[in-house]
């Protein structure tokens, strides 16, 4: 497994810091990460709810469990990417490479990279953390997914279903095309990069 | 050279078991925390939520 150097934004220090991108994490690493993230998430959500935070403000992914997602690594085409900084995993992303087909014309049905799950460590997410530690985790992971799509000959094509709280990030923040609500996938909104969209995203610089 | 099966040789299956234990220990260590949460919620008659999808939560009602 060849790691790469990337950069995250250290919010406390107010500057970019070096981080390590792992392109293919093994199952045991996901179990290890969830053993840290899981209790952190649950404690943070309990604290928020006890303090009277409106339930709608709690991150919609707080129930995620990477030990359940880890089994997908046995499936062909699935891999998990991670970003580590300060000896802790700061973000995880589950990908299906060449498993599903794109929806945007003129590439409908052509293989692409599907982002199954993407999560930043709970201490990087407001309001789970009062003072989030690292920023740009989601952007770096999505960047890595688009680069992988290019490297695999899939021309940067990439798609995902977004939780409502993340729609602005993928649409306005990353410039992905919004294809509307998908009734076949938990009524979540579907986003996609076609080749020009992916090129524009990469051209913005890492 | 020590023959396989003698006490000072770690067989591959033993090595795998040791490795699994070291990796899974942090996960297992969290189990009491989960039960603590369950106990606390049982006292209040609250609900537990488990992952059933990206947005979907399986609701477990604790009487």
Binned at pLDDT 50, 70 and 90, residue B2 comes out as very low
Closest by Cβ to B30, choosing from A38, A61, A163: A38
Assess contact for A16 and A9: CB atoms under 8 A: yes
Task: Output the pTM of the full model.
Answer: 0.81
Closest by Cβ to A39, choosing from B23, B33, B54: B33
User: Among A58, A4, A65, which residue's Cα sits nearest to residue A33?
Assistant: A65
- Give the contacts of A24 (CB within 8 A, at least 6 positions apart): A1, A79, A80, A81
**pLDDT tens figures, B3-45:** 555 556 667 777 777 766 666 655 555 555 554 555 444 445 5
Residue of B nearest to A65 (CA): B51
Whether residues B54 and A68 touch (CB distance < 8 A) is answered with: no
Q: Tell me which of B33 and A156 has the higher pLDDT.
A: A156
- Give the contacts of A138 (CB within 8 A, at least 6 positions apart): A91, A118, A120, A166, A169
Distance from CA of A114 to the nearest CA of B (A): 14
Report the C-alpha gap between A182 and A103 in whole angstroms.
Answer: 12
Tell me the ipTM for this assembly. Answer: 0.82
Whether residues A186 and B56 touch (CB distance < 8 A) is answered with: yes
**Residue spans of beta strands (DSSP E) within chain B:** 47-51, 57-61
**pLDDT tens figures, A185-198:** 999 999 999 999 99
Whether residues B54 and A61 touch (CB distance < 8 A) is answered with: yes
Q: For chain A, what is the mean pLDDT?
A: 95
**pLDDT tens figures, A131-144:** 999 999 999 999 99
Whether residues B27 and A32 touch (CB distance < 8 A) is answered with: yes
Give residue B43's pLDDT.
47
């Amino acid at each position: 497994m060849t790691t790469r150097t990337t950069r995250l934004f250290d919010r406390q220090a107010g500057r970019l810091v070096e981080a390590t991108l792992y392109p293919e994490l093994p199952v045991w690493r996901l179990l290890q990460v969830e053993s840290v993230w899981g209790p952190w998430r649950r404690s943070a959500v309990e604290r928020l709810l006890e303090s009277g935070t409106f339930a709608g403000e709690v991150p919609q992914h707080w129930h995620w469990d990477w030990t359940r997602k880890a089994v997908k690594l046995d499936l062909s085409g699935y891999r998990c990417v991670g970003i580590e900084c300060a000896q802790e995993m700061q973000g995880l992303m589950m990908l299906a490479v060449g498993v599903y087909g794109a929806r945007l014309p003129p590439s409908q049905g052509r293989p692409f990279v599907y982002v199954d799950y993407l999560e930043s460590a709970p201490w990087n997410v407001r309001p789970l953390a009062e003072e989030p530690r690292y920023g740009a985790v989601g952007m770096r992971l999505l960047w890595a997914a688009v680069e992988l799509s290019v490297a695999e000959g899939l021309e940067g094509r990439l798609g995902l279903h977004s939780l409502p709280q993340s729609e602005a990030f993928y649409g306005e923040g990353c410039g992905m095309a919004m294809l509307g609500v998908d009734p076949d996938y938990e009524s979540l909104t579907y986003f996609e990069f076609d080749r020009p969209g992916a090129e524009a995203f990469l051209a913005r610089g890492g | 050279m020590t023959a396989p099966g003698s006490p000072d040789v770690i067989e591959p299956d033993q090595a795998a078991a040791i490795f699994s234990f070291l990796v899974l220990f942090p996960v297992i260590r969290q189990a009491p925390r989960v039960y603590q949460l369950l106990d606390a919620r049982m006292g209040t008659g609250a609900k537990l939520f488990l992952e059933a999808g990206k947005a979907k939560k399986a609701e477990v009602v604790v009487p």
